[in-house]
């Protein structure tokens, strides 16, 4: 095999790649924080005594977790126009990413809520706290702290999954790489660079989310400072 690497042609596409990188970061943050908010809401709904919200949340979670993200994007972008709902590619991927991440986060947070010891709930009830006050002050804070690590992992996976949005013409990092590859035919060089960018993004997102967790959860911060 005689292959000569030539990274020079990539310089002409640097503005598009940088623009795609920023779009990937923006999509990731919307999907992460929108998905976390939706996931927490759905996890709380799944703990209610009424069977209807529990059934609806269960249905939503099962649909999200048992279908590929790419299919979800296609349903929103290509399927909804058949019933009169037309969305731009960017809006479609925003919705798909939030819904997808929300389904996974909901199941993770639900596990954290169910891991709360019954004695803590009984203590809150003895103090006269309502169910939602118990959730807000007694159940959710420790539950979210327990499951924060798997939530971070899920959010990093979502960031990597944003590469699928290029399938409907959104010029994220992967989309920009596809255009550069088709015009320069330097596929190896372009995707090696893009792969390294994703690796760096992985570590950056994980670090940012972990720092955010230390700022939010005081017990984790105290444990870290105690070790230091």
Question: SS3 letters for 66-122?
Answer: CCCHHHHHHHHHHHHHHHCCCCCHHHHHHHHHHHHHHHHHHHHHHHHHHCCCHHHHH
pTM of the entire predicted model: 0.88
pLDDT digits (tens, 9 = 90+) for 132-191: 787 777 888 888 888 999 999 999 999 999 999 999 989 999 999 999 988 888 889 899
- pLDDT at position 227, please? 55
How many structural domains comprise the chain?
1
In a domain, 4, yes or no: no
In a domain, 193, yes or no: yes
Q: How far is CA 55 from the centre of its chain?
A: 23
- pLDDT at position 135, please? 77
Residue 170 · residue 28 · CB < 8 Å? no
Q: How many helical (H) and strand (E) elements, i.e. helices and strands, does the chain have?
A: 11, 0
Using only C-alpha atoms, what is the Rg of the chain?
A: 21
- pLDDT at position 221, please? 55
Mean pLDDT over all residues of the chain?
Answer: 88
pLDDT digits (tens, 9 = 90+) for 100-146: 999 999 999 998 888 877 777 767 677 777 777 877 778 888 888 88
Q: Which two tokens stand for residue 57?
A: 């949340």
Local structure of residue 175 (DSSP, 8 states)? H
Coil, strand or helix at 49: coil
- Highest average pLDDT, of 42-51, 80-89, 107-116, 121-130, comes from 80-89
In a domain, 129, yes or no: yes
CATH number of the domain residue 34 falls in: 1.10.3720.10
Residue 160, domain extent: 12-227
In a domain, 183, yes or no: yes
In a domain, 5, yes or no: no
Whole-angstrom distance, CA of residue 106 vs CA of residue 59: 12
In a domain, 198, yes or no: yes
């Amino acid at each position: 095999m005689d292959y000569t690497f030539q990274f020079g042609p990539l310089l002409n596409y640097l503005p598009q790649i940088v623009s795609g990188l920023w779009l990937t970061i923006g999509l990731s943050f919307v999907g992460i924080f929108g998905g976390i908010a939706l996931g927490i809401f759905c996890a709380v709904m799944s703990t209610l005594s009424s069977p209807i919200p529990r059934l609806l949340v269960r249905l939503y979670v099962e649909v999200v977790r048992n279908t590929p993200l790419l299919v979800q994007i296609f349903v929103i972008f290509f399927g909804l126009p058949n019933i009169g709902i037309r969305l731009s590619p960017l809006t479609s991927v925003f919705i798909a990413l939030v819904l997808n991440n929300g389904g996974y986060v909901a199941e993770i947070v639900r596990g954290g809520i169910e891991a709360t010891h019954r004695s803590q709930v009984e203590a809150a009830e003895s103090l006269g706290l309502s169910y939602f006050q118990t959730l807000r002050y007694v159940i959710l804070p420790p539950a979210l702290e327990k499951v924060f690590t798997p939530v971070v992992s899920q959010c990093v996976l979502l960031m990597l999954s944003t590469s699928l949005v290029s399938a409907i013409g959104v010029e994220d990092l992967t989309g920009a790489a596809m255009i550069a590859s088709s015009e320069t035919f330097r596929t190896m060089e372009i995707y090696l660079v893009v792969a390294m960018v994703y690796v760096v993004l992985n570590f950056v997102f994980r670090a940012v989310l972990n720092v955010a967790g230390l700022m939010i959860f005081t017990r984790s911060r105290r444990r870290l400072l105690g070790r230091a």
